[in-house]
Chain A
Amino acid sequence: MRIPMHRFKYTKLTKEQIATKLKAAEGGPKSASAFSNVLNGKTVKIVTQDGPTLEYKFGTNRRLTLTEGGKQISAGYGELALNQMVFFSHLIPGEQKGYNVFIDQKTNLATVFEVWTSSGIKQNAGRPNEFTLDDREVQRQIYFGHVDSGQKAPEKLHHYTNRMTGKGIHWKQDTGIETLELYVSVANTNFVELTRHIDDLSYVATSDYVLVDDRTIIYNRTECEFSGIHTCFVADLYGVKQVGVRFGFNDKDELEYYMFKGDGEVVGQLAYLENFDDHGLRPMFAPALAGAPAAGGGPAPAAPVAAAPQKGARTTYRPVRSFTHMTDEEVHQAALQRTSAFGAGAAQQAPPQAVATGNNLPFSDILVGKEFTLRFDNGGPVRDYRVKEMFKLQYRNHGDSAWRDADYRAYEGDDNLAWFSHIIADSKPRASVQVAVDFTNGLATSIESHMGTEYYGNETTYRAIFGVAEIAGLEAPLYVRHQLTDELVGHAFSWSYSDQTTSMHIYSSPHSMSWVIFTAAQALGAEWCSPCIYVKLRPGVYIFCQNEEACNGNQMIELLNTKASHDCGFTFNGGTRGVSLGVTGAIGRHIGRFDIVELYGPKTRSA
């Protein structure tokens, strides 16, 4: 798959189309590995807490009968075992639902996933931004229970956990599929399809984590906002093995319903920052009332009081649902009305908690009094700069006689390393540059940013160009350049923009990243992802640039100084209110690193 998942237009499969496709799978899932036969000929009654009682009879012909609520059905099923765990999966014929059932034969405890499609679930019900989940999105509800053996019901059941938080595993399945899964949130997974996709971009899917015992975890993720496909497995963390099922519709609208085995390698562990007595026993479901927008626009209020989560509730960020499409021309017309540079700059002197960028680095006068030329490679722009004061500069294309005035902000991101930004005057589409000038080494990098992508006029496009800084007394190199780098790949930093706004960035692949929000209890919860680039300026000093694609179109361009654990930079965005260039910056903490760089890059692939 070449088109990124967040750009792919998944078909809105109808309930009827889904029903037709599911009919073909009533015989049960497929499996590349041989099924196990632990349950052959057995009768099993599973009693769940606050959920169904499921009475199974397993035949010897990979058929089962299920009695639930007085109704009996017959279906094909698949079964795989892993240590003491036996896992089976089946659909209910004629209904768009099925069960994935995990039984611990040692304890007789069971975890049941009810899965279904065509849910009709409404989000933000009754509010202006109400929408119905796509029928193809697989829903799940987890029930904890036990196998009824006539004895007293056990008091302790399987339960939600944060024990997987921060772990990363590279899985190789018996299907030949390889995935990198970074379980950095208690409610999401940052994953990379190493074989299904060409570009090694990382994506985020909603997840649940269930603790069976100290070495055994049950996991699932649903690729909400993408194909809606569901992956569910039990993993043994001692042997790093998995057995599971994949259920849903892929990008070609084909039903994938198969079971798999896999072998994994733990690629790292980030610190998780909850209190030590917080074991993640309570699932993180979005409050039923959260996220409602203010009437007439503006930011949404926080949830008043969390209502009981509805069946299937999960913490899923669905940004594109509220992202309004604008054409290039619409954005430009808005830009003509208002193009703002550093409108919030004065707030930099306010106390940290009063502004969103309160932890930013202070602005620098490093450019004041300097005149220099930035000459970028490959016929790139050559710009002259003349800076006489702290927030105003003059620039011109080399050879032009007229200087242009521009507001700018600059930081000293490292010793004698200037990092500044300004709008390109009268540009169409509106453009800005974020420029690193190394006055020690004579190097320059410019992130050339402008409004508009092929998808949205109100998203930004950026590219890094490399060159030299020519200034009196400094000899610029001929060959040495800043360059794109993968040195940050695998690292995770929390970035505190203010004392009340912190996000953790996971630099999960050479071309993408994800960000996760902390809860008040310091658990990592809501998560999303975007493509990005990384540029190395000096050892420990990088530019990180991302656009929140198919999200809100905002661009963040930061200089990361990992020696000082601080970043500083700029935001660039546009919409109905015009185009805005702003500042941002944060205090960082290194949360850990995944050893994953070697997984990326061009691979030998079968044709």
Chain B
Amino acid sequence: MNNRRTFIWKFGAGASAALAATAGTAAGLPKAEAVTSDTPALRASLLEEEKALRKFHQAFEQAMDKGLHEEVIGMFADEAAEVLFNGGVFKGRNHGVGRLYRDRFPAGKTGRRMEQAPGFELTADQLHDSVEVSPDLQSAKAVFPYSIQVGMPFETETSLAAMARLHGEGVRTWWEGGVYRINYRKDVAGHWKISRLEYDTLSRADYRSGKSYAQPILVSRFATRFPEDRDGPDDLV
């Protein structure tokens, strides 16, 4: 048996909600989801950490939704942190990650929550979330579904684009659904931080809120690294 597995708790979304309500009581553990562990105390701690991570992720999504990108950057670990987005790797909280959230996302109006595009919805399996906390309570992995607006500024110097920028627009937007695959670790102060975040896009469509239909859309992956692309990734995958 894999020793590590014996020390990891794995919860589904439904189980997590139930556990959150009965945290600390073994009687609240769903039989099907319970994995072995050492002690009730560790189980309780794992539950508390999982709850904390869910709150942390909620805060992350809210900050993204409100365009509070500095707050988002502050949620990342340090210079070893990285984000995988659209075939690019953005490295370092104050470098690549900062560039992504401070420049690229705002310029593209990317990250706001939006409803799923009709006809392109994620399946129930894809919407499943999970949180795995390591037994030393210092690191964790999670998967959370997302449904967000993504976009990029019009790559044109036409007057139409320039005028649209006067409105704070001039951005081609679309919908993307997928899952965040996140690694967390605690910093020296004991706070959870994101050490790695991957936008695993499962579905995307030409769709904006209010439209009655959606169409497929082709989006080019990153092909140019920073600094040639001033908002580009540090590496390509």
Chain B hits for A528, CB < 8 A:
159, 163
Interface 9-mer from A44-52, A327-335, A374-382, A496-504: A496-504
Instruction: Let me know if A353 is at the binding interface, CB within 8 A.
Output: yes
Counting contact residues on chain B (CB < 8 A from A), the size range is 35 or more
Report A298-324 CB contacts with B as 1/0, cut-off 8 Å: 111111111000000001110100100
Task: Decide: B217 and A351 in contact? CB cutoff 8 A.
Answer: yes
Contacts A301-B107, A354-B217, A501-B154 given; does A306 touch B168 at CB 8 Å: yes
* B67 in complex: contacting residue of A301, A305, A351, CB < 8 Å: A305
Instruction: Let me know if A592 is at the binding interface, CB within 8 A.
Output: no
Whole-angstrom distance between the alpha carbons of A207 and B155 in the complex? 29
Task: Decide: A291 and B165 in contact? CB cutoff 8 A.
Answer: yes
Whole-angstrom distance between the alpha carbons of A29 and B163 in the complex? 36
Task: Decide: B109 and A517 in contact? CB cutoff 8 A.
Answer: no
Interface 9-mer from B11-19, B33-41, B42-50, B169-177: B169-177
Min CB gap A583→B, angstroms: 14
Closest 4 CB pairs of A and B: A301-B107, A304-B106, A526-B163, A303-B168
Instruction: Let me know if A286 is at the binding interface, CB within 8 A.
Output: yes
Instruction: Let me know if B161 is at the binding interface, CB within 8 A.
Output: yes
Task: Decide: A299 and B169 in contact? CB cutoff 8 A.
Answer: no
Chain A hits for B69, CB < 8 A:
304
**Besides A299-B161, A301-B106, 4 other CB < 8 A contacts?**
A300-B162, A350-B218, A351-B206, A503-B160
Report A372-401 CB contacts with B as 1/0, cut-off 8 Å: 000000000000000000000000000000
Chain B hits for A301, CB < 8 A:
103, 106-107, 153, 231
Task: Decide: A526 and B161 in contact? CB cutoff 8 A.
Answer: no
Chain B hits for A304, CB < 8 A:
67, 69, 106-107
Chain B hits for A519, CB < 8 A:
167, 169
Whole-angstrom distance between the alpha carbons of A294 and B218 in the complex? 24
Contacts A299-B154, A317-B163 given; does A353 touch B206 at CB 8 Å: yes
Instruction: Let me know if B123 is at the binding interface, CB within 8 A.
Output: no
Task: Decide: A517 and B153 in contact? CB cutoff 8 A.
Answer: no
Whole-angstrom distance between the alpha carbons of A356 and B218 in the complex? 14
Min CB gap B103→A, angstroms: 7
Instruction: Let me know if B124 is at the binding interface, CB within 8 A.
Output: no
Instruction: Let me know if A487 is at the binding interface, CB within 8 A.
Output: no
Task: Decide: A299 and B157 in contact? CB cutoff 8 A.
Answer: yes
Instruction: Let me know if A472 is at the binding interface, CB within 8 A.
Output: no
Number of A interface residues at 8 Å Cβ cutoff, please give it.
44
Task: Decide: A291 and B166 in contact? CB cutoff 8 A.
Answer: yes
* A284 in complex: contacting residue of B155, B167, B218, CB < 8 Å: B167
Instruction: Let me know if B230 is at the binding interface, CB within 8 A.
Output: yes
Chain B hits for A303, CB < 8 A:
106, 165, 168
Whole-angstrom distance between the alpha carbons of A83 and B172 in the complex? 48
Chain A hits for B103, CB < 8 A:
301
Whole-angstrom distance between the alpha carbons of A515 and B156 in the complex? 17
Min CB gap B221→A, angstroms: 14
Whole-angstrom distance between the alpha carbons of A409 and B189 in the complex? 65
Contacts A295-B230, A306-B168, A519-B169 given; does A351 touch B156 at CB 8 Å: no
* B107 in complex: contacting residue of A302, A319, A350, A551, CB < 8 Å: A302
* A290 in complex: contacting residue of B155, B159, B166, B218, CB < 8 Å: B166
Which applies to chain A's interface (DSSP): helix, strand, loop or mixed? loop
Instruction: Let me know if A126 is at the binding interface, CB within 8 A.
Output: no
Min CB gap A184→B, angstroms: 14
Min CB gap B57→A, angstroms: 22
Q: Which of A407-454 contact B (CB under 8 A)?
A: none
Task: Decide: A302 and B153 in contact? CB cutoff 8 A.
Answer: yes
Report B139-168 CB contacts with A as 1/0, cut-off 8 Å: 000000000000001111111111111111
Instruction: Let me know if A280 is at the binding interface, CB within 8 A.
Output: no
Task: Decide: B216 and A554 in contact? CB cutoff 8 A.
Answer: no
Counting chain A CB atoms within 10 Å of each CB, which of B158, B171, B206 scores highest?
B158
Min CB gap B73→A, angstroms: 13
Contacts A302-B109, A353-B215, A354-B218 given; does A286 touch B156 at CB 8 Å: no
Task: Decide: B155 and A299 in contact? CB cutoff 8 A.
Answer: yes
Which applies to chain B's interface (DSSP): helix, strand, loop or mixed? mixed
Whole-angstrom distance between the alpha carbons of A497 and B158 in the complex? 12
Task: Decide: B216 and A351 in contact? CB cutoff 8 A.
Answer: yes
Instruction: Let me know if A548 is at the binding interface, CB within 8 A.
Output: yes
Instruction: Let me know if A473 is at the binding interface, CB within 8 A.
Output: no
Closest to A350 in B: B218
Instruction: Let me know if A287 is at the binding interface, CB within 8 A.
Output: yes
Closest to A316 in B: B166
* A551 in complex: contacting residue of B159, B167, B171, CB < 8 Å: B159
Whole-angstrom distance between the alpha carbons of A294 and B228 in the complex? 12
Chain A hits for B173, CB < 8 A:
500
Contacts A286-B166, A315-B167, A499-B206 given; does A552 touch B172 at CB 8 Å: no
Task: Decide: B167 and A291 in contact? CB cutoff 8 A.
Answer: no
Min CB gap A363→B, angstroms: 21
Instruction: Let me know if A525 is at the binding interface, CB within 8 A.
Output: yes
Task: Decide: B153 and A299 in contact? CB cutoff 8 A.
Answer: yes
Whole-angstrom distance between the alpha carbons of A303 and B165 in the complex? 7
Min CB gap A586→B, angstroms: 11
Q: Which of A488-522 contact B (CB under 8 A)?
A: 497, 499-501, 503, 515, 517, 519-520
Chain A hits for B174, CB < 8 A:
353
Whole-angstrom distance between the alpha carbons of A305 and B71 in the complex? 14
Chain B hits for A286, CB < 8 A:
166-168
Chain A hits for B172, CB < 8 A:
353, 500
Chain B hits for A294, CB < 8 A:
230
Report A261-303 CB contacts with B as 1/0, cut-off 8 Å: 0000000000000000000000010110011001110111111
Chain A hits for B157, CB < 8 A:
299, 552
Chain A hits for B160, CB < 8 A:
497, 501, 503, 515, 517
Closest to A304 in B: B106
Whole-angstrom distance between the alpha carbons of A499 and B154 in the complex? 13
